[in-house]
């Protein structure tokens, strides 16, 4: 039985970061501009600390300035908004990311709303969500941008292909659907209330799984040859008693049917930070009125 091409997101992301580093070096030389990424972390959630640390390291490796702002869990909403306001004003900061989730006493929507639209490198601000919907040039959330890059790398043009997006979060599902529509796919958004998820999947040339349910999408849900992008990152206890990361797709059965598939880990995950750096580069150029460079991953 044929098995799918494994889409190596880790390698692709590394080559993308290398290409970004080249552009950053050019910007420094030609425009004396060093893109700066500010990450705000509230509280001491361990997973969030790891994410924030990795974002900082990778920004620096790409030649960018990285600014970490740690605030205690007890910070007030007013203090956090004041911090964001400072970063909005700071000309050395081109991208601002507030690590989610925030403590419950803080209204996350109000915080996201306070970030300057031009510096909103997570693309979560409603104005940027709206620009994505209506076709303007805003900031697009990092994970869907990464998924789209992998898809285009694998398939070339996507026009006319049938895409199913499983999941309708503001962070992945909805912006992913908007991006696929922009690429002229016929797009279906399916979710927990969909009557027959398997049937929706079986019609699709492209399946984006972003539901947070471990190994939900089985091989027999797939159209033979489909391209499968697995956004899920779920920690499960394997039969041997060990913890293991798995996606929303049952890889072992899916790999027998799909044409191409991203693994978990090593698929979509590494693309997210790479695309955050790409957004920061884009934001820096726009804020300085410099044409945004076309960044293509370095050669394989």
- Token couple for 133: 């919907």
Q: How many of the other CB atoms lie within 10 Å of CB of 70?
A: 14
Nearest CA to 219 among 195, 252, 259? 252
Binding of residue 286 to a second copy (CB under 8 A): no
Least CB distance to a second copy at residue 181 (A): 6
Nearest CA to 95 among 106, 103, 84? 84
Q: Which of residues 86-145 bind a second copy (CB under 8 A)?
A: 109, 124-136, 138
Least CB distance to a second copy at residue 213 (A): 17
The residue from 55, 83, 94, 174 that contacts a second copy (CB under 8 A) is 174
Q: Which of residues 144-173 bind a second copy (CB under 8 A)?
A: 159-160, 162, 168, 170
168 is in an annotated binding site: yes
Q: Which of residues 184-223 bind a second copy (CB under 8 A)?
A: 184, 186-191, 193-195, 200
Q: Which is nearer to a second copy, 115 or 178 (CB)?
A: 178
Nearest CA to 270 among 173, 146, 174? 146
Q: Which is nearer to a second copy, 82 or 199 (CB)?
A: 199
Q: How many of the other CB atoms lie within 10 Å of CB of 232?
A: 24
List, in sequence order, every beta strand (DSSP E) within the chain.
5-6, 36-42, 65-71, 95-98, 162-166, 186-190, 206-209, 227-230, 234-237, 243-246, 260-261
Count residues near a second copy (CB under 8 A). Answer: 35
Q: Whole-angstrom Cα distance, residue 122 to residue 184? A: 24
Q: Which is nearer to a second copy, 8 or 120 (CB)?
A: 120
Q: Is 46 exposed, middle or buried (0-12, 13-18, 19+ CB in 10 A)?
A: exposed
Least CB distance to a second copy at residue 130 (A): 3
Q: Whole-angstrom Cα distance, residue 78 to residue 213? A: 36
Q: Which is nearer to a second copy, 61 or 113 (CB)?
A: 113
167 is in an annotated binding site: yes
Q: By rule CB under 8 A, what string of x and - marks binding of each residue 220-239 to a second copy? A: --------------------
Show which residues are catalytic.
Answer: 55, 99, 122
The residue from 108, 155, 181, 233 that contacts a second copy (CB under 8 A) is 181
Q: Whole-angstrom Cα distance, residue 141 to residue 124? A: 7
Nearest CA to 254 among 232, 233, 228? 228
Beta bridge partners of 190: 166
Least CB distance to a second copy at residue 72 (A): 28
CB 232 within 8 Å of CB 211: yes
Q: Which is nearer to a second copy, 72 or 126 (CB)?
A: 126
The residue from 64, 148, 178, 210 that contacts a second copy (CB under 8 A) is 178
Q: Which is nearer to a second copy, 205 or 230 (CB)?
A: 205
Q: Whole-angstrom Cα distance, residue 24 to residue 30? A: 10
Q: Which residues are annotated as a binding site?
A: 167-169, 233
Where along the sequence are the contacts to a second copy (CB under 8 A)?
A: 109, 124-136, 138, 159-160, 162, 168, 170, 174, 177-178, 181, 184, 186-191, 193-195, 200
Query: Which positions make up the binding site for NADP(+)?
Result: 167-169, 233
């Amino acid at each position: 039985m044929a098995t799918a091409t494994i889409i190596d997101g880790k390698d692709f992301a590394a080559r993308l970061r290398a290409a970004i580093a080249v552009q950053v070096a050019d910007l420094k030389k030609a425009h004396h501009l060093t893109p700066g990424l500010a990450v705000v972390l509230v509280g001491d959630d361990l997973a969030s600390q790891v994410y924030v640390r990795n974002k900082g390291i990778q920004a620096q490796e790409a030649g960018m300035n990285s600014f970490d702002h740690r605030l205690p869990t007890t910070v007030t909403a007013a203090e956090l908004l004041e911090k964001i306001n400072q970063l909005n004003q700071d000309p050395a900061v081109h991208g601002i990311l507030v690590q989610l989730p925030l403590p419950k006493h803080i209204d996350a929507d109000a915080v996201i709303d306070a970030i300057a639209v031009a510096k909103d490198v997570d693309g979560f601000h409603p104005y940027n969500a709206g620009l994505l919907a209506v076709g303007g040039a805003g900031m697009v959330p990092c994970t869907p941008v990464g998924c789209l890059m992998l898809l285009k790398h694998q398939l070339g043009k996507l026009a006319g292909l049938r895409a199913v997006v499983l999941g309708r979060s503001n962070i992945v599902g909805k912006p992913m659907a908007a991006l696929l529509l922009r690429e002229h796919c016929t797009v279906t958004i399916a979710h927990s209330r969909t009557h027959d998820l398997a049937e929706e999947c079986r019609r699709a040339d492209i399946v984006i799984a972003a539901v947070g349910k471990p190994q939900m999408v089985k091989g027999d849900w797939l159209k033979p040859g489909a391209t499968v992008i697995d956004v899920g990152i779920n920690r499960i206890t394997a039969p041997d008693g060990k913890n293991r990361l798995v996606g929303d797709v049952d890889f072992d059965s899916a790999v027998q049917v799909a044409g191409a598939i991203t693994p978990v880990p090593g698929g979509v995950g590494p693309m997210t930070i790479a695309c955050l750096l790409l957004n920061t580069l884009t934001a820096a150029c726009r804020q300085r009125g410099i044409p945004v460079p076309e960044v293509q991953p370095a050669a394989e």
